[in-house]
Structure 1
Amino acid sequence: MRRSSIIMLIAAVALGLIAVLFARTFLGNAGDAGGGRSAAAVRTVPTVVAAADINFGEKITPDKVKVVDWPANTLPQGSFQRLEELTMGAGRTAMRPIVANEILTEKSLATGANRLSTAQLLGPQMRAISVPLNEVSGVAGLIFPGDRVDVFMTRQPDEAMPYSELLAQGARVLAVGVDMNVGKEKPELVKSATIEVTPLQAQKIALAVTVGQLSMALRHFTDESRVRLQTAQVMDLNDGTITRLVRKPNSGGSAPSGPSGPPAGGNSGQAPIGPGVVVMRGTSNGMTSSFESVIGK
């Protein structure tokens, strides 16, 4: 009886070992087969990538690029499959900083190695025009290539009050000064900026430069909204509250400028002399609705 128990125990252990070996072998073969099917399902194609960091304006040379196998279904549009496409003929130049192992595309490169031109950055049917800047109108040098800006014109004509107009919204900055590098990191005060606009906007800006002063307002690069603005004048600077302005004393017998009230003492033939107060009551939208002039005694 004791011997039979020992035999049964040995047989059970042997069967357990056989089952473990069988399961390991079967699962391993199944995994290898599945991995082979997965590998076969992913198709790769030769793709040109940067072998090292490429700076803005550098010519693409054989030592700066290499070919790797890249999954075909994740390949970006405009990529290259052969080194000769980049290094032969006129050659190509980097239009922006390119990091190592990044896929090179047509949009990141300019054809021809002689010089870089802003024209290659323009979209179809768009124009490039330069706008004069100073420290204030250029947002203290914080405008960089690739930013989006709104363009305003401020004018002070002789026949009317000063006013401001919106000329363009969301215009893309192509260059600041002579720098087109979108990888530019340090702010710099420049005398001009080149922006991308429509032909009509270019016409308006060209005229505005001759009659007024242009300013730029920096906006978020993802903001593509279009805000409808009216012509802003001095009277529109009020936020809706009542404003009192002290009139300058009248001298030389000339009539005071601006709105006037009834003359003092009932004398309608002579303009009042002395200081006064102009009361402006604004509406909720900031537009002046009424004027009141109180002449000081």
Structure 2
Amino acid sequence: MLVTAMVLGLFAVFIARFFVGPSGAKTTPETQTVAAVVAAQPFAFGEKITADKLKIVRWPAAGIPAGTFQRIADAVGSDERVAMRSIDTNELVTVNGVSGKESRMSASQLLGPTMRAASIPITESSAAGGFVAPGDRVDVYVTRDPGDEQYPYSDLIVQNVRVLAVGQDSNVAKDKPEIVKTATIEVSPLQAQKLALAATVGTLSLSLRNILDESQVRLETAQLLDLNDGTVTRILSKPKRSADAPQQVAAAAPAGGPRPTDGRPTGPSVEVFHGNKPSYHSIPSGS
């Protein structure tokens, strides 16, 4: 029993030295950190970036995102940068959160790498009553009235596009509706081409959609006959005037009735065109 106890004791000492180490505690590698600029006070959208509202903290090197600043002077810059969005206290200040090298707010920084910014005219009724705000997702419709060729119709041309700005306001923290004249949306080059054409031939309108709804729907062209809830209706079309309509009217007029106001005779006649101007000549009876 004594020998067994000594063997177990020696084994325990060996295990402790192997796993714990000679110092009596397991050593862990020191976490490497780097300097990073964060907001000492919150910044509102469009507010100037100043040194007194910034501070430097130590940030784990393995977890720091790209585009951060290591010096306050670099974050402030020499061209009066402003906040492109709201920045909270102790939040990292990045190049995507402040304006670029120019001394103005550049909307191009809000675009995706291959996307375009297109502005369309809107009104209170065509922009969800002013509730469309930067950061929202919308669908765009075009409504046309071709005149005598066709009846008016409406088509869905782009879906689920992001609103970059309403008017000249691109603050995603905007919390009050506002009536403006234009909306700027993020679209692909092909969608920008469609919008440019649609704006010249019809009226554009926005439809606000749920921010979580990413579905793509396929809608048929909506025409006048579709403006009901499915109830069967009877629509009468306007009669088309044919080329021989004046002769038909003249033949249908009674012999003793009133003479037409355009100079046509009430009896048998010959219609002669000189260019686009018609003239009428009566045919004597018995001829």
Normalised by the size of structure 2, how large is the TM-score?
0.69
**1:212 lines up with 2:202 in the alignment:** yes
Aligned match of 2:52 in 60, 63, 66? 63
State the one-letter code of the partner of 1:167.
Answer: I
Query: Aligned-pair RMSD on alpha carbons?
Result: 2.8
Return the alpha-carbon distance in structure 1 between the equivalents of residues 64 and 203 of structure 2.
47
Residue 98 of structure 2: aligned partner: 109
Where is the strand percentage greater, Structure 1 or Structure 2?
1
How far off its partner does 1:90 sit? 3.2
Return the alpha-carbon distance in structure 2 between the equivalents of residues 210 and 151 of structure 1.
15
* Deviation sequence 1:104-159 (CA, Å, 0-9, x none): 12221121362112223222232222111111101011011111111100111111
How far off its partner does 1:221 sit? 2.4
* Deviation sequence 1:174-221 (CA, Å, 0-9, x none): 111111111211111111111111222212211211211111011122
Structure 1 residues 258, 51: closer, same or farther in 2, change over 3 A?
farther
How far off its partner does 1:43 sit? 2.9
Matches for 1:111-150 after TM superposition, within 5 Å = 111-112=100-101, 114-150=103-139
Return the alpha-carbon distance in structure 2 between the equivalents of residues 172 and 139 of structure 1.
15
Where is the helix percentage greater, Structure 1 or Structure 2?
1
What secondary structure sits across from 1:170 in the alignment? strand
Residue 12 of structure 2: aligned partner: none
Residue 177 of structure 1: aligned partner: 167
User: Is the 8 Å Cα contact of residues 37 and 75 (structure 2) preserved in structure 1?
Assistant: no
Matches for 1:32-47 after TM superposition, within 5 Å = 33=25, 37=28, 40-47=29-36
State the one-letter code of the partner of 2:165.
Answer: A
User: Is the 8 Å Cα contact of residues 93 and 113 (structure 1) preserved in structure 2?
Assistant: no
State the one-letter code of the partner of 1:220.
Answer: N
How far off its partner does 1:64 sit? 1.6
Residue 166 of structure 1: aligned partner: 156
What secondary structure sits across from 2:199 in the alignment? helix
- Taking only the aligned residue pairs, the percentage that are identical comes to 54
How far off its partner does 1:58 sit? 2.0
Normalised by the size of structure 1, how large is the TM-score?
0.67
User: Is the 8 Å Cα contact of residues 90 and 113 (structure 1) preserved in structure 2?
Assistant: yes
**1:236 lines up with 2:217 in the alignment:** no
More displaced 10-residue stretch of structure 1: 203-212 or 235-244 = 235-244
How far off its partner does 1:85 sit? 1.9
User: Is the 8 Å Cα contact of residues 93 and 112 (structure 1) preserved in structure 2?
Assistant: no
How far off its partner does 1:237 sit? 3.5
State the one-letter code of the partner of 2:74.
Answer: E
Return the alpha-carbon distance in structure 2 between the equivalents of residues 57 and 240 of structure 1.
50
State the one-letter code of the partner of 2:142.
Answer: M
How far off its partner does 1:239 sit? 4.6
Aligned match of 2:43 in 54, 63, 76? 54
**1:201 lines up with 2:191 in the alignment:** yes
Runs ≥4 residues deviating over 4 A: none
Residue 273 of structure 2: aligned partner: none
User: Is the 8 Å Cα contact of residues 52 and 65 (structure 1) preserved in structure 2?
Assistant: yes
* Deviation sequence 1:12-45 (CA, Å, 0-9, x none): xxxxxxxxxxxxxxxxxxxx945x63xx443322
Return the alpha-carbon distance in structure 2 between the equivalents of residues 235 and 113 of structure 1.
53
User: Is the 8 Å Cα contact of residues 134 and 171 (structure 2) preserved in structure 1?
Assistant: yes
Residue 77 of structure 1: aligned partner: 66
Return the alpha-carbon distance in structure 1 between the equivalents of residues 174 and 216 of structure 2.
27
Return the alpha-carbon distance in structure 2 between the equivalents of residues 165 and 75 of structure 1.
47
What secondary structure sits across from 2:233 in the alignment? strand
What secondary structure sits across from 1:167 in the alignment? strand
Q: Which runs of 5+ in 2 are unaligned?
A: 1-23, 241-250, 253-287
Q: Which runs of 5+ in 1 are unaligned?
A: 1-31, 248-255, 260-268, 271-297
Structure 1 residues 33, 110: closer, same or farther in 2, change over 3 A?
farther
